[in-house]
A and B are shown apart, each in its own frame.
Chain A
Amino acid sequence: MEDIKIKEENKTIAEGDPSDDEDKKDIGKITSLKSLGPFIASRENSQNTVYLSDVPAVCKDKPCMLGVDEAGRGPVLGPMVYGISYCPLESKQALIDLGCADSKQLTEEKRDVIFNELNTLEYANSCVGWAVEIISPNVISTSMYRRAKCSLNEVSMESAMGLIQQAIDAGVNIAEVYVDTVGPPEKYQEKLLRRFPNFKITVAKKADSTYPIVSAASICAKVTRDHALKVWRFPEGLVIKDNAFGSGYPGDPVTKRFLTEHIDLVFGFPRLVRFSWSTAENALANKAYDMEFDEPDSEKPKYAGTKLTKFFKGTTKDGEVIREECRFFKQRHLSNVFEF
């Protein structure tokens, strides 16, 4: 029964009927699964968006555990979402009752149900709080393509630490932190401990299936990512029926087709695509105009003193004198142009 109801709600979100007053009522707050889509749609999708749920009163008094997980790290399309959730150490049972278990084992529908119950049922929302950061694909590309390259891992860690900090600022009494990681846990743990020395911090692979609080964070992140794709509106003016661009994984034929069919000769792709993924780079090669940026100054200054042969270099073979360009013009990047 529940499942069917949720599915219907999803439908209205996906259709995005603008005349639906209920969707517009309070777009600044996510109070149920239904308000998630409109909230995301009301934000600029080329920038990051952070959302914090209200902090349940008990989380300010009692020592809490906090879980961190991400969704959408691998796909070439759409945002990556970081999620945290927290509840008092003694309220673990509420998480289990909600069904927060290994989120990989849960279907999309089941995750939607849990997310909705987490926000609407009294026994849950009175002790569990959550927050997400939607990291825009535009931000992912521009971070990874900076002159001083910023890896996806750095972007991730910054986001995770930023969310924990926001929870602290909102008054959550954090005692323990659990983080799911794909990379080596030791380095990550060390970095987190340096920033938050007062917490008991556990970084582990597959923490998602071990700690219910991480599962809850994972569900928030995954549901948010799924909805972000569903309500994605292209500032480029593209309209894709049902936003059917596939999972975003390079192997997905729907995604592959989307990438080949929506190439702009000059600008490449709409900014739903992460340009910094090799899948995207390869799809553009030979299909769009070649584009060459002035790459970082990797050239080291060559200086090894004046070369002995320098004095013989002033003339060409036929004795013509090569005049060196006036330094004034050279330094200002000015030169004569005969052809244009």
Chain B
Amino acid sequence: MSITLDFNGKNLAKGKSLHLHYLPAKISGDGEANVETYFNNYTREAPDYGSGMLNNALRGYPLVGERMKVPEGYKGLVLQETEKPLSESADRQLRLTGVFDEFTYWNYDKVPSNGDPFRQAMLMADVAKALSEPISEQDLEAEIRRNLESKKENDS
């Protein structure tokens, strides 16, 4: 099985910029939504919860949210698969619907904080960076020297 990302990575900047909402609900449905009139229309600033906080509601459930940026060095993409694969081994093709650098993150009746699973998971960006960043000769030698010294200290 192979997955083809059917777009040119160099042209991402030209992709349609999307305004997305990260909602604390599972919606069993797919399709267009009247976001502008039924939702965006009702977003209000909520300084009582802290600077930059917003509030709104979804089907009567109170939401507290904030604007969030995609981690630095990353780009948000929305990909869509027009044909569902028939079997697990079938080749798949994903198309680019749009791009985003910012989105609105919403919690159900809870002020967004570092305790939110989403923010905690975002640490993965740092982990990935640390793991994949090239290490220079000098850094490596410095690390080896540090290790030797601490070993000596422990031994003595």
Closest Cβ–Cβ distance, residue B57 to chain A (whole Å): 5
Across the interface, which residues of A come within 8 angstroms of B8, CB to CB?
Answer: none
Number of interface residues of B (CB under 8 A): 29
Most buried by B among A236, A265, A267: A267
Task: State the CA gap A142–B24 with chains docked (Å).
Answer: 15
Are B121 and A267 neighbours in the complex by a CB distance under 8 Å? no
Residue B140, interface by CB 8 Å: no
Are B59 and A265 neighbours in the complex by a CB distance under 8 Å? no
Residue from the list A145, A280, A289 in contact with B28, Cβ < 8 A: A289
Are A291 and B37 neighbours in the complex by a CB distance under 8 Å? no
Are A275 and B60 neighbours in the complex by a CB distance under 8 Å? yes
Closest Cβ–Cβ distance, residue B89 to chain A (whole Å): 13
Are A293 and B33 neighbours in the complex by a CB distance under 8 Å? no
Across the interface, which residues of B come within 8 angstroms of A143, CB to CB?
Answer: 62
Are A333 and B117 neighbours in the complex by a CB distance under 8 Å? yes
Residue A198, interface by CB 8 Å: no
Task: Pick from B9-17, B38-46, B95-103, B147-155 the stretch touching chain A.
Answer: B38-46
Q: For chain A residues 238-283, which have a beta carbon within 8 Å of chain B?
A: 264-268, 270-271, 274-276, 280
Residue A327, interface by CB 8 Å: no
Are B121 and A332 neighbours in the complex by a CB distance under 8 Å? yes
Are A334 and B121 neighbours in the complex by a CB distance under 8 Å? yes
Residue B26, interface by CB 8 Å: yes
Task: State the CA gap A266–B62 with chains docked (Å).
Answer: 16
- Describe B's contact surface by its main secondary structure: mixed
Number of interface residues of A (CB under 8 A): 34
Residue B47, interface by CB 8 Å: no
Are B24 and A235 neighbours in the complex by a CB distance under 8 Å? no
Are A147 and B108 neighbours in the complex by a CB distance under 8 Å? yes
Are A145 and B38 neighbours in the complex by a CB distance under 8 Å? no
The residue of chain A having its C-beta at the shortest distance from the C-beta of B123 within the complex is A332
Known contacts A147-B108, A267-B34; is A291 also within 8 Å of B27 by CB?
yes
Task: State the CA gap A266–B58 with chains docked (Å).
Answer: 9
Task: State the CA gap A284–B29 with chains docked (Å).
Answer: 14
Closest Cβ–Cβ distance, residue B62 to chain A (whole Å): 4
Task: State the CA gap A293–B59 with chains docked (Å).
Answer: 10
Are B41 and A235 neighbours in the complex by a CB distance under 8 Å? yes
Residues of B participating in the A interface, judged by any CB pair closer than 8 Å: 24-29, 31, 33-34, 37-39, 41-42, 57-62, 108-110, 117-118, 120-121, 123-124
Residues of A participating in the B interface, judged by any CB pair closer than 8 Å: 46, 138, 141-147, 235-237, 264-268, 270-271, 274-276, 280, 284, 289-294, 331-334
